[in-house]
Amino acid sequence: MTSAAIRVRGIRKSFGELDVLRGVEFEVAPGSIFALLGSNGAGKTTIVRILSTLLKADAGTASVNGFDTASAANDVRESISLTGQFAAVDEVLTGRENLVLIAQLRHLKHPGRIADDLLARFSLTDAGGRKAGEYSGGMRRRLDIAMSLVGNPPVIFLDEPTTGLDPQSRIEVWDTVRKLAKNGTTVLLTTQYLDEAEQLADRIAILHEGTIIQNGTLDELKRLLPAAKVEYVEKQPTLEEVFLALVGPDTSKEDAS
């Protein structure tokens, strides 16, 4: 028996000729925040889709909340929520109505109470009566995360939760994610932002060319590179320096300048 909230063993996935995942392995402890860090196209969403039973792996096994994603897909689905880059928020409804609707769809008792609790948890009480279409980017994303928490799933997947958000909204979402983990929810988030992983994650795994090439706490990753001595001040490497040393510079974004 394992106490890991998420366990991934030897997962492989190809799309035609493209070998996206070539034996991915990692575990996520309950109640922790785990960041899957990788460049655009590394396969982060593919892993999330496999873990949330939307996609079948070609090989390997994965379990979520103790349930096998292949043989107990329904149990996995009842244990998780998934928030993607594309918000499920209905703009015509108010924030509160969005939450009530989800609670009703899940046949939960007291949908109004559930909505009010979540609005309070995400600092949206005052905005709850306004149409979601009028919300800022950060408020919308917070509402989206709140919606995914209706029914209290023990495991939540956040696929690039702050992509496209302004700096202030990112900080709001980060606070939200921290609160989630404090309440015992296991969070697996994907990101291509090093500072996001640095800010939030208890553990960071770097996905590169189909495998997890490093997995550790921020301190462990930083220890992979020697601290540079500058005069009398010891400068710790940033996660960005560690990432670039491991993965190499991103040549896909090079331009002529």
Ligand X SMILES: Nc1ncnc2c1ncn2[C@@H]1O[C@H](COP(=O)(O)OP(=O)(O)O)[C@@H](O)[C@H]1O
Give the one entry of Mg ion, ligand X, none that residue 217 binds, where binding means its C-beta sits below a cut-off of 5 to 8 angstroms depending on kind.
Answer: none
Q: Is 165 helix (H, G, I), strand (E, B) or coil?
A: coil
Give the one entry of ligand X, Mg ion, none that residue 42 binds, where binding means its C-beta sits below a cut-off of 5 to 8 angstroms depending on kind.
Answer: ligand X
Q: Is 95 helix (H, G, I), strand (E, B) or coil?
A: helix
Are 30 and 153 contacting, i.e. CB atoms less than 8 angstroms apart? no
Provide, rounded to whole angstroms, the least separation between the CB of residue 85 and ligand X.
9
Provide, rounded to whole angstroms, the least separation between the CB of residue 20 and ligand X.
4
219 C-beta neighbours (distance < 10 Å), count: 8
Provide, rounded to whole angstroms, the least separation between the CB of residue 87 and ligand X.
17
Strand partners, 216: 204
67 C-beta neighbours (distance < 10 Å), count: 19
Using the rule CB under 6 A, is 82 a contact of ligand X?
Answer: no
Provide, rounded to whole angstroms, the least separation between the CB of residue 138 and Mg ion.
20
Using the rule CB under 6 A, is 164 a contact of ligand X?
Answer: no
Within 13 Å and on the Cβ side, how many CA atoms surround 141?
25
Provide, rounded to whole angstroms, the least separation between the CB of residue 246 and ligand X.
16
Spatial neighbors of 229 by CB under 8 A, at least 6 apart, are 235
**Which of 169/190 has CB closer to Mg ion?**
190
**Which of 66/84 has CB closer to ligand X?**
84
Using the rule CB under 6 A, is 228 a contact of ligand X?
Answer: no
- CA angle, residues 134, 84, 141, in degrees to nearest 5: 30
Cα distances (Å, whole numbers) of residue 178 to 87, 147, 155, 193: 20, 17, 14, 17
C-alpha closest to that of 188 among 4, 2, 6: 6
Interface residue with Mg ion among 45, 63, 65, 169 (CB under 5 A) is: 45
**Is the Cα torsion angle 58, 59, 63, 67 positive or negative in sign?**
positive
The arrangement of strands across the sheet holding 6-15 comes to 18-28, 6-15, 59-64, 67-68
Site for ligand X in 28-47 (CB under 6 A): 38, 40-46
**Which of 102/189 has CB closer to Mg ion?**
189
Give the one entry of ligand X, Mg ion, none that residue 69 binds, where binding means its C-beta sits below a cut-off of 5 to 8 angstroms depending on kind.
Answer: none
Site for Mg ion in 52-91 (CB under 5 A): none
Give the one entry of Mg ion, ligand X, none that residue 236 binds, where binding means its C-beta sits below a cut-off of 5 to 8 angstroms depending on kind.
Answer: none
The residues that touch Mg ion, with contacts defined as CB under 5 A, are 44-45
The residues that touch ligand X, with contacts defined as CB under 6 A, are 15, 18, 20, 38, 40-46
